[in-house]
Amino acid sequence: MMYAFSYHAPISLSEARKRFEESEDAAYISGGHTLLPTMKNRLAAPSDLVSLGQIEELQGIAVAEGCLTIGAAETHASVAASDAVTGRIPALAGLAGSIGDVQVRHRGTIGGSVANNDPAADYPSAVLALDARLHTSERVIEASDFFQGVYTTALEPGEILTKVGFRIPDTAGYAKMRNPASRYALAAAFVARFGDSVRVAITGASEDGVFRWTEAEERLSKEVSAGALAGLTLNEADMNEDIHASRGYRAHLAALCTRKAAELQGRLTLL
């Protein structure tokens, strides 16, 4: 059983901030599909849980001025099924639909995934490759400044991620090798083309979490194809190693995913 805590369900951003500040050791909870398992294992024991599920500013999916903006409390299932997302960035809808299983997608949220910055999570790769802007209760943070290593972001204590604004690319592809049990990425690549410029983000593979693979971006800016990446490899020493995969295997998978995502633009590809 989890340690005892007090639960709060504020209906405004300011009320949520206030509740957080007034609590001894609060945590925000959205879908709870990372936090509750962590609390059950007693790896986290917040004194208070402040729910973000009832706050209107965190909801909704909208398109404006070349930008697809998704509220932080939108679930993976609602992102995967959204006409705005499937129409503008089908690879992003595919990514959302590849997270966990259907029950998990009914509860887990984009904001939770991005703010947690799990090194094997899917969304951080899309945030980085689609040059997203992270809107918070306090400010706007550029994707390049947001992720700061495993489980670490630019969010200050108490700051709430409210919306993720993705730049709509000309085309994009996402390719992923799933851990067959958890369906987290053993390695995955998000490849997005904006005119002559291509952005490549790799998740699941590195010891430091999501990162941009700039050598691959240079190759693909000339031509978005698997062939353009021939012979290009990642440094094994920078990869993560655990019971699921060795450094060498992850380096191989990340490069393979990048080739697949480049070749199969406009969709999700599961290896």
Partner 1 sequence: MTTVTLTINGDRRQVDVEDRTLLVDLLRETLGMTGTHVGCDTTQCGACTVILDGKAVKSCTILAVMAEGAELRTIEGLADGDTLHPMQQAFCDNHALQCGFCTPGMIMAAVNIIERHGTDIDESLVRRELEGNLCRCTGYHNIVKAVLDVAGKLPRASE
Specify whether the CB–CB gap between 241 and 231 falls below 8 A. no
Of 40, 42, 139, 222, the one binding partner 1 (CB under 8 A) is: 40
Options 13, 15, 32, 167; binder of partner 1; rule CB under 8 A:
32
What is the Cα–Cα distance from 58 to 61, expressed in whole angstroms? Answer: 10
The distance of closest approach from Cβ of residue 37 to partner 1 in the complex, given in angstroms and rounded to an integer, is 6
Q: Mapping DSSP to helix (H, G, I), strand (E, B) and coil, where does residue 79 land?
A: helix
Question: What is the number of alpha carbons within 13 Å of residue 268 lying toward its C-beta?
Answer: 20
> Nearest approach, Cβ of 32 to partner 1 (angstroms)?
6
Tell me: does residue 183 bind partner 1 (CB under 8 A): yes
Among 2, 44, 168, 264, binds partner 1 (CB under 8 A): 2
In terms of CB distance, is 42 or 139 closer to partner 1? 42
Residue number, 49 or 129, with CB nearest to partner 1: 49
- Among 4, 64, 237, 243, which residue sits at the site for partner 1 (rule: CB under 8 A)? 4
Contacts with partner 1, 251-270, as mask; x by CB under 8 A: --------------------
- Tracing tokens 């690879």 back to the chain, one arrives at 91
Please give the Cα distance from 69 to 188 (Å, whole number).
Answer: 23
Element (H, E) at 54: none
Q: Give the burial class of 101: count Cβ atoms within 10 A of its Cβ; 0-12 exposed, 13-18 middle, 19 or more buried.
A: exposed
Query: For residue 156, how many C-alpha atoms fall within 13 Å in the half-sphere facing its CB?
Result: 9
Structure tokens given for 191: 């490849």
Q: Which is nearer to partner 1, 33 or 259 (CB)?
A: 33
Structure tokens at 41: 């294992």
Whichever of 2 and 150 has its CB closer to partner 1, that residue is: 2
Q: Is 11 in the site for partner 1 (CB under 8 A)?
A: no
List the beta strands (DSSP E) in 76-156: 133-136, 140-142
Q: CB within 8 A of 252, min separation 6: which ones?
A: none
Q: Indicate which single residue of 51, 117, 153, 206 sits in contact with partner 1 (rule: CB under 8 A).
A: 51
Q: What tokens does 107 get?
A: 């509860």
C-alpha torsion 17→18→22→26, nearest 10: -20
- Contact flags string 97-126 toward partner 1, x per CB under 8 A: ---xxxxx-xx-------------------
Would you count residue 47 as binding partner 1 (CB under 8 A)?
no
Q: Provide the minimum distance between the beta carbon of 83 and partner 1 in the complex, in angstroms, as a whole number.
A: 16
Instruction: Choose, by CB under 8 A, the member of 13, 27, 36, 264 that binds partner 1.
Output: 36
Is the Cβ of residue 6 or residue 197 nearer to partner 1 in the bound state? 6
Contact residues for partner 1 (CB under 8 A)? 1-7, 9, 32-33, 36-37, 40, 49, 51, 53, 77, 100-104, 106-107, 181-183
